[in-house]
Amino acid sequence: MSLKKVQTPNLKITTLAVYVESESIPEQQQYFFAYKIIIKNVGLSTAQLMSRHWIITDALGHTEEVRGPGVVGLQPKISAGQSFDYDSACPLRTSSGTMKGSYQFMSEDSETFDIEIPEFYLIAPTAVN
């Protein structure tokens, strides 16, 4: 399990990643990881998550980039003092890897800003000896 927190001036992002053994087939180089993202608005105004950008890298250095609107089909507005969380998943061809990226938000006055999501680890228990 990998847990990481980052504090920005207005948003606090927590990531939690776990290996999903039941969905993985190591003999076919298929490793499946689930992750939860918690976004807490610690600022004084509402922010809307507009898009995401992920950089996923496996243990062999193979990198995949994922870009798209919102997260899990939503572009949530997160009011001051509120939080939004979601679950998603990521397949890898190796038993370990990393994810990092950014979210683009829009403020109440229609200005966009990016929030970096620092690298976090995807590690199957078999990868740690």
Tokens standing for 87?
Answer: 């679950």
Report residues of the chain scoring pLDDT below 70. 1-9, 129
Tokens standing for 63?
Answer: 């990198």
Predicted TM-score (pTM) above 0.85: yes
**Secondary structure of residue 28 in the 3-state scheme:** helix
- As a whole number of Å, the end-to-end CA separation of the chain is 15
Q: Which pLDDT score is estimated for 7?
A: 44
**Distance of alpha carbon 34 from alpha carbon 23, whole angstroms:** 10
Q: Which pLDDT score is estimated for 6?
A: 46
Q: Which pLDDT score is estimated for 71?
A: 96
Contacts of 72 (CB under 8 A, 6+ apart): 86, 87, 88
Q: Which pLDDT score is estimated for 126?
A: 84
Q: Phi/psi class of residue 58: alpha, beta or left (left: φ > 0; alpha: ψ in -120 to 50)?
A: beta
Backbone CA torsion sign across 69, 72, 73, 74: negative
Query: Over the Cα atoms of the chain, what is R_g?
Result: 16
Q: What are phi and psi of 26, to 5 degrees?
A: -55, -35
**Distance of alpha carbon 25 from alpha carbon 10, whole angstroms:** 40
**Secondary structure of residue 125 in the 3-state scheme:** helix
